[in-house]
Amino acid sequence: MPNSRTGAARADGYATGRATKKAIVASAAQAFARKGFYGASLRSIAQEAGVDHSTLLHHFGNKTNLMLAVIEWHDQQQLRADFPRRLSAEAIVEGFVSAAVSNRETPGLVQLLSMLTAEAGSDDHPARPALQRRHQRLITLFAWVIRRQRAKLGLPDDGLSPEQRAAVLLATWDGLQMFDALHPGMLDVPDLVGRSLREAFGLEPAR
């Protein structure tokens, strides 16, 4: 059996590995936002993170895996910052509106995510399964709220199931961000996101 010293060394190694991965992902997020997926090199990302190129490859394998880790990091940052622990329909609307506002501060990363989502329409794209899972998590959340609000408020049947209405909301979210990437500032994306969610959840318009 391993002694306590071996266990402590192993724990330190795990902690160091996690810290290294976080540093690489943070560096990659900045690089992708500035230079795009194809413009940012793994070697430059590794250098900015203070690690060897081989260390980056050890943790992530390739640029696609690193990009997916950045997307996951991006989502987790927004969820921690913008969403309360006890979710209500109102709180979810406010959280997603806040996320849309913060997205305007990192347009490069949002545009990159939009491009990656569009590219993943191809069956053989390496990011397709991960992005599908990402969409499904949001559809599940939206559908749960819609189903609860319909039962609570007795909302009229609009001909769509909660899952279908949730998918429309997500498509609206993605479409607005893609449009804003092409036409920055033409539309108030946070306001439109809030309107779409409030309507689907049966909430009064924001004042």
* pLDDT given for residue 5 in this prediction: 56
Shared domain for 196 and 117, answered yes or no, is yes
Shared domain for 159 and 140, answered yes or no, is yes
Shared domain for 162 and 69, answered yes or no, is yes
Tell me the residue range of the domain where 198 lies.
Answer: 63-207
Shared domain for 178 and 141, answered yes or no, is yes
Of 119, 124, 133, 127, residue with least CA distance to 170? 133
CATH number of the domain bearing residue 121? 1.10.357
* pLDDT given for residue 128 in this prediction: 86
At residue 43, does pLDDT exceed 90? yes
Shared domain for 19 and 111, answered yes or no, is no
pLDDT digits (tens, 9 = 90+) for 1-28: 556 555 554 555 577 888 999 999 989 9
pLDDT bin (cut points 50, 70, 90) of residue 62 is very high
- Helix 89-103 vs helix 63-82: crossing angle, to nearest 10: 130
* pLDDT given for residue 198 in this prediction: 97
Choose the final residue of a domain: 9, 32, 61.
Answer: 61
Q: How many other CB atoms are found less than 10 A from the CB of residue 6? A: 10
Q: Kindly state the average pLDDT of the residues 138-163.
A: 94
Number of independent structural domains in the chain: 2
Shared domain for 45 and 55, answered yes or no, is yes
CATH number of the domain bearing residue 33? 1.10.10.60
- Write the CB contacts of 64 (distance below 8 Å, at least 6 apart in sequence): 126, 127
Shared domain for 103 and 163, answered yes or no, is yes
Shared domain for 7 and 98, answered yes or no, is no
At residue 144, does pLDDT exceed 90? yes
d(Cα 29, Cα 34) in Å, to the nearest integer? 9
Higher pLDDT, 118 or 162: 162
Shared domain for 131 and 160, answered yes or no, is yes
* pLDDT given for residue 33 in this prediction: 76
- Write the CB contacts of 16 (distance below 8 Å, at least 6 apart in sequence): none
Shared domain for 55 and 76, answered yes or no, is no
* pLDDT given for residue 164 in this prediction: 97
Choose the final residue of a domain: 61, 91, 106.
Answer: 61
Higher pLDDT, 87 or 58: 58
Shared domain for 110 and 57, answered yes or no, is no
pLDDT digits (tens, 9 = 90+) for 79-111: 555 455 567 899 999 989 988 888 887 777 777
Shared domain for 26 and 94, answered yes or no, is no
Instruction: Compute φ and ψ for 58, nearest 5 degrees.
Output: -60, -40
